[in-house]
Structure 1
């Protein structure tokens, strides 16, 4: 995993990220478009975190913080890169960001039908909150 580079996205990365999600993400969202991505990066330049290996996009996560709660979206790893620590590295970067910003708990939106993702989130220390259909991890007390 030494060749894995983690960095925040720049506006020049957005088209590549959108194309990547068509391959690596489970489904798409109404906000998965260039305008939505530009708003995200303009409002919170550190929120979109990328993992690259050998200059190629290997994974993404959006680590949004609204000043009160920490939210994780779009954790996606390229199918050829799965089970190689990419998702864990992205979540570590997101959690470090949250702690630096004063966040105390991260929650993730995870599709109920995406059982492969459920295993990954559980392995990373997150647990489902059945009443909300989201996964939560306390980052610090």
Structure 2
């Protein structure tokens, strides 16, 4: 872990981030395209944190803060670099970011089928809240709702 640097992603790294997620992350999202990643980076330049071994992405986490709550997404570590402390270092950097922004509580999105991810989040001190469910809807479908 000595030579790993953690820093915010740059807009020009969007395609590389997507390639990394295809290999290291679980699941996909409607925003998994170059434009979606670029929008994230440009809208909130410090939110997408990357762990880099020289120039190779070996880890990522999105640490988004909306002014009210702190949200974590896409915590991922290269399969060949797991169990080296990279995920813990990314979470520490995310927590530091949140503290600097005035955040007081954070949550993480974890797929039900992602048992490895659930174990990692539990090891980091996060607990599942079964009373909550996530409700989603792609924005392109909003026009079709009748009131």
After TM superposition, the score normalised by the length of structure 1 is 0.91
Indicate the residue corresponding to 1:138 in structure 2.
none
What are the superposed Cα offsets for residues 68-87 of structure 1, whole Å, 9 maximum, x if unpaired?
00000011111001111111
Larger radius of gyration: 2
Which structure's residues are more often strand, by fraction? Answer: 1
Moved more, 44-53 or 34-43: 34-43
Moved more, 94-103 or 26-35: 26-35
Gaps of 5+ in 1: 135-141
2-structure distance, mates of 1:17, 1:65: 20
Secondary structure, aligned partner of 1:49: strand
Secondary structure, aligned partner of 1:58: strand
Gaps of 5+ in 2: 135-147
After TM superposition, the score normalised by the length of structure 2 is 0.88
Aligned length in residues: 134
Q: CA deviation at 1:55?
A: 2.5
Task: Tell me if the contact between 1:18 and 1:32 (Cα under 8 Å) persists in the aligned partners.
Answer: yes
* Aligned residue runs from structure 1 range 1-141, under 5 A: 1-132=1-132
What are the superposed Cα offsets for residues 58-102 of structure 1, whole Å, 9 maximum, x if unpaired?
000000000000000011111001111111010000000000000
- Aligned-residue Cα RMSD (Å) equals 1.1
Q: Which runs of 4+ in 1 moved over 2 A?
A: none
